[in-house]
Amino acid sequence: MRLLKKWSLYSCLLGLTFCKSVPFAPNQYEGNMLRFGKGGGMTGSVTEFIISDKNVLYRGEGMLDRSFNKVKSLPAGMFDQIVTNYKLLGLDELDINQPGDLYYFIEAHQDGKIRRLVWGDNRYSPPKNLELFYKILAQQTKE
């Protein structure tokens, strides 16, 4: 009996070593989310963050096929507050597509609709509320 208990414990521990966290697949996610980040430059690489409606922050980096890994869980209600601020600042009404060599973006996925805002062109000055909102989002990515 004692040998059986030890064997069970070892097999459970061995099984746990083979477990890996499953990367987040934004193209398969059916809930609401907010994507934001920056990219371009010499490499063309993009650093992108996603906040899901489950209050989880994910990060992906690369050119085209980015895999997203969980960074951290956010406080309950954080996603709803971010969406509320997004709407109060009127960002859901903006239509901005002014990328530059280096660019920033915010992409809201709400109820099956997608709104993408892109800026970075040196000749374009984005609205202050957009820049402020982006800075607030970027603060969430810090540990």
- What's the confidence (pLDDT) of residue 143? 65
The DSSP secondary-structure symbol of 63 reads S
The label of the residue with tokens 């202050």 reads 128
Q: Residue 34 in contact with residue 108, Cβ under 8 Å?
A: yes
The backbone torsions φ and ψ at residue 19, rounded to the nearest 5 degrees and listed phi first, read -75, 135
Q: Residue 82 in contact with residue 132, Cβ under 8 Å?
A: no
Q: List beta partners, residue 62.
A: 46
pLDDT per position in the chain (143 positions), as tens?
A: 554 454 554 555 445 444 555 566 666 788 899 999 999 988 889 999 999 999 999 999 988 778 889 999 999 999 999 999 999 999 999 999 999 999 999 999 999 899 999 999 999 999 999 999 999 999 988 86
Q: Residue 129 in contact with residue 136, Cβ under 8 Å?
A: no
Q: What are the structural domains of the chain?
A: 22-140 (3.30.1560)
